[in-house]
Amino acid sequence: MRTYDIERYLNIRSAYGASFAPDGERLSFLMDTTGVPQVWTVDEPGAWPEQRTFYEERVTFASWSPENHEVIFGMDKGGNERQQLFRLEPDTGVIDDLTQSPDAKHRWGGWSHDGEQFAFTSNRRDNSVFDVYVQDRDATEADAQLVHEGDGWLTIGGWSPDDSKLIVAEAYSNFDQDVSVLDLATGELTHITPHQGTVRFQSATWGPDGENIYMVSDRASDTLELVRYELDSGEFSLVESGGDYEIEGVGIDEDSRRIVYARNVEGYTELTFGELTAPDEIDAYPEPDLPKGVAGGISFSPDGNRAAVTVTASADTANVYVVDLKTGEAERWTRAATAGIPRDTFVPPELVHYPTFDGRDIPAFFTLPEESPEGETPVIVDIHGGPESQRRPSFSAVKQYFLSRGYAYFEPNVRGSAGYGKAYGHLDDVENRMDSVADIEAAVEWLHDHPAVDPDKIVAMGGSYGGFMVLASMTEYPDLWAAGIDIVGIANFVTFLENTGDWRRELREAEYGSLEDDREFLESISPINNIEKIRAPLFVLHGENDPRVPVSEAHQLVEEAREHAHVRELIFDDEGHGFSKLENRIEAYSQIADFLDEFV
């Protein structure tokens, strides 16, 4: 079989985040053909797309106006996550900077239905909290109207059908949120989800008549369900249950009464489209004819008869499909290139479950390369971040590259991962943090029993919180590993919490423990304080502008670890929390490949 270098794999493209133009004849979407995501448009299935933005920085989203031929998009600088908002006229190429506050973050909140205003939240008044703003479509930063002062992490769920109100969500952690309704005329904020303990209220969206709000919540179950809140009565009702699986999101087209919700079945997405025939009744349409994988980023056409959907699978790149809702037929509108690598060389995973120390079965995706000599196959254990994230069967060029080089890939969803219910998600909270690391040890034990695996060639790799998991696995179980790859990882929970962005600290303390109450425990589990136990070679990569895990985490780790093991360090001065620029990704993964060649 012919092999390709990492540069070729990293030139595989993704197309995603589609939005319908107001005439329903054109889609905007993001694609990374230039090396970073930019705005593109396409007029029909498979047609040649037109690039509309030409920046060296990544574009983070793009949303068509519902009435005017213009798009608002977001972009940050050097990975600093301080997103600014811009208005683009696709046909003329004219771009206006709408926010002009480069030191602040701006979180998109959607267009008003008449296309004359948009909403967003921002921490421009106080770096540690987010406020709600409304701005005219052609106004500048100075004309943005502050309509609500917040005291936490606020996002907007959209405008009511008459544009008089906004849904405002506040997050306290990934497993605890609240939803309120903001009256724009009076400024009154009405809290609609009072609760005790941790309860998720997510994906809140207006019903067709503005009298109801639909959302997913685990208020009455272990898993997320589709529920309706009636504004007049203040009562909740159950619309759909996912059974043993989570309903992870809902979208509604108000004019046509079309609805879509997504069920997360062991990482795979099951989409249901339908029509609201009554507030709690959905007339379901045929199942959409989409590839089996992970689907999202759904945008209804102006008439509500079609929906644009981004779909990715482990063995296929992300592309945008348009679904005819009444028939379920789907057409692929984009053709994200695979850099000349045949699609049939991409290897799909097997969904497995392995036992861990307390008798639970941990779900994971295991992928063997096409050639797996018995007892000779090295394995990369790739640990996701979050920690309330989930490894799902989506496409990864890096994964396919290492598979082509003969590595197997093991991707566990250890306790604390999202997608498996509230109880599972809380199993690693604070004092139970190291139980999730024990799940990694159990994964390696399972791999030792696999006939294809070489037990002396197992690598730990992960980013962000996954980087912590790599370091913790190497300090807690040092004899299991041939090497470790730590990408933008947490080495010291105390200094991480002290130095992370002000707007994130409270959210992270809810998961990890607080500096005030849990400092001693946080010190005890921080890999930096057990670094002398590391024996395997370690490669540490980071971005200089990382606002989440400061680069100081990498520096202090490398300085101390070098006293006990072979350590390499690679810092990118124009990246943040991860690597978005193509040339940096090529350098990073080329060096990772060379590192593994040398030590594994």
Query: Is residue 553 one of the residues assigned to a domain?
Result: yes
Residue range 474-483: average pLDDT?
97
Distance between alpha carbon 415 and the CA centroid of its chain, in Å? 18
Give me the domain span that covers residue 575.
347-599
| Residue 395 pLDDT grade (very low, low, confident, very high; cuts 50, 70, 90) | very high
pLDDT surpasses 90 at 517: no
For residue 352, give the nearest of 393, 407, 398 by alpha carbon.
393
For residue 193, give the nearest of 131, 151, 236 by alpha carbon.
236
What are phi and psi for residue 279, nearest 5 degrees?
-55, -35
Query: Is residue 380 one of the residues assigned to a domain?
Result: yes
Q: What type of residue is 51?
A: Q
Query: Is residue 44 one of the residues assigned to a domain?
Result: no
Query: Is residue 214 one of the residues assigned to a domain?
Result: no
Q: How far is CA 79 from CA 180, 466, 486, in A?
A: 31, 19, 18
CB atoms within 10 A of CB 93: 10
- What local confidence, expressed as pLDDT, does residue 503 receive? 63
pLDDT in tens, 225-282: 999 999 999 999 999 999 999 999 999 999 999 999 999 999 999 999 999 999 999 9
pLDDT surpasses 60 at 1: no
Task: For residue 574, give both structure tokens.
Answer: 């124009």
* Count of structural domains within the chain: 1
Residue range 494-523: average pLDDT?
77
- Angstrom distance (rounded) from CA 548 to CA 525: 19
Average the pLDDT over each of 224-233, 512-521, 569-578 and give the range with the smallest value.
512-521
Q: Per-residue DSSP letters for 142-160?
A: GG-EEEE--SSEEEEEEE-
- Angstrom distance (rounded) from CA 163 to CA 113: 7
Half-sphere exposure in the Cβ direction for 110 (13 Å, CA): 18
Residues in Cβ contact with 497 at an 8 Å cutoff, skipping those fewer than 6 apart:
505, 508, 509, 512, 515, 522
Query: Is residue 583 one of the residues assigned to a domain?
Result: yes
Q: Is 218 exposed, middle or buried (0-12, 13-18, 19+ CB in 10 A)?
A: buried
Residue whose tokens read 């209804």: 300
Enumerate long-range contacts of 510-517, CB under 8 Å, 24 or more apart: 510/172, 510/173, 510/176, 511/173, 511/174, 511/387, 511/388, 511/429, 511/430, 512/430, 512/433, 513/430, 513/431
| Residue 552 pLDDT grade (very low, low, confident, very high; cuts 50, 70, 90) | confident
pLDDT in tens, 135-181: 999 888 779 999 999 999 999 999 999 999 999 999 988 889 999 99
Q: Is 96 exposed, middle or buried (0-12, 13-18, 19+ CB in 10 A)?
A: middle
| Residue 296 pLDDT grade (very low, low, confident, very high; cuts 50, 70, 90) | very high
Residues in Cβ contact with 254 at an 8 Å cutoff, skipping those fewer than 6 apart:
161, 206, 207, 208, 209
Helix/strand/coil for 460: strand
Better pLDDT: 577 or 223: 223
Q: Is the dihedral of CA 559, 564, 568, 572 positive or negative?
A: negative
Task: Find the CATH number of the domain harbouring 400.
Answer: 3.40.50.1820
pLDDT in tens, 97-118: 999 999 999 999 999 999 999 9
Helix/strand/coil for 323: strand
Q: How far is CA 476 from CA 218, 331, 350, 441, 530, in A?
A: 34, 49, 28, 9, 8
pTM for this prediction: 0.93
Distance between alpha carbon 108 and the CA centroid of its chain, in Å? 16
What are phi and psi for residue 469, nearest 5 degrees?
-60, -35
Residue range 516-537: average pLDDT?
90
pLDDT surpasses 90 at 431: no
Residues in Cβ contact with 259 at an 8 Å cutoff, skipping those fewer than 6 apart:
214, 250, 251, 252, 253, 273, 274, 275, 276, 282
> Mean pLDDT of all residues in the chain?
94
The count of residues in the chain is: 600
- What local confidence, expressed as pLDDT, does residue 66 receive? 97
For residue 260, give the nearest of 313, 312, 297 by alpha carbon.
297
Query: Is residue 451 one of the residues assigned to a domain?
Result: yes
Sheet holding 71-75, edge to edge: 59-64, 71-75, 84-89, 94-97
- Report yes or no: 294 and 313 within 8 Å, Cβ to Cβ: yes
Query: Is residue 71 one of the residues assigned to a domain?
Result: no
- Angstrom distance (rounded) from CA 514 to CA 2: 52
Residues in Cβ contact with 441 at an 8 Å cutoff, skipping those fewer than 6 apart:
357, 473, 476, 477, 480
- How would you classify the pairing of strands 176-183 and 361-367? unpaired
Query: Is residue 569 one of the residues assigned to a domain?
Result: yes
Angle (deg, nearest 10), helices 582-599 and 397-404: 30
- Angstrom distance (rounded) from CA 82 to CA 503: 12
Q: What is the maximal distance between C-alpha atoms in the chain?
A: 70
State what percent of residues in the chain have pLDDT above 70: 99
pLDDT in tens, 197-208: 999 999 999 999
- What local confidence, expressed as pLDDT, does residue 549 receive? 82
Residue range 437-448: average pLDDT?
98
Q: What's the CA angle centered on 92, arms 87 and 98, to 5 degrees?
A: 15
Task: For residue 440, give both structure tokens.
Answer: 């990694």
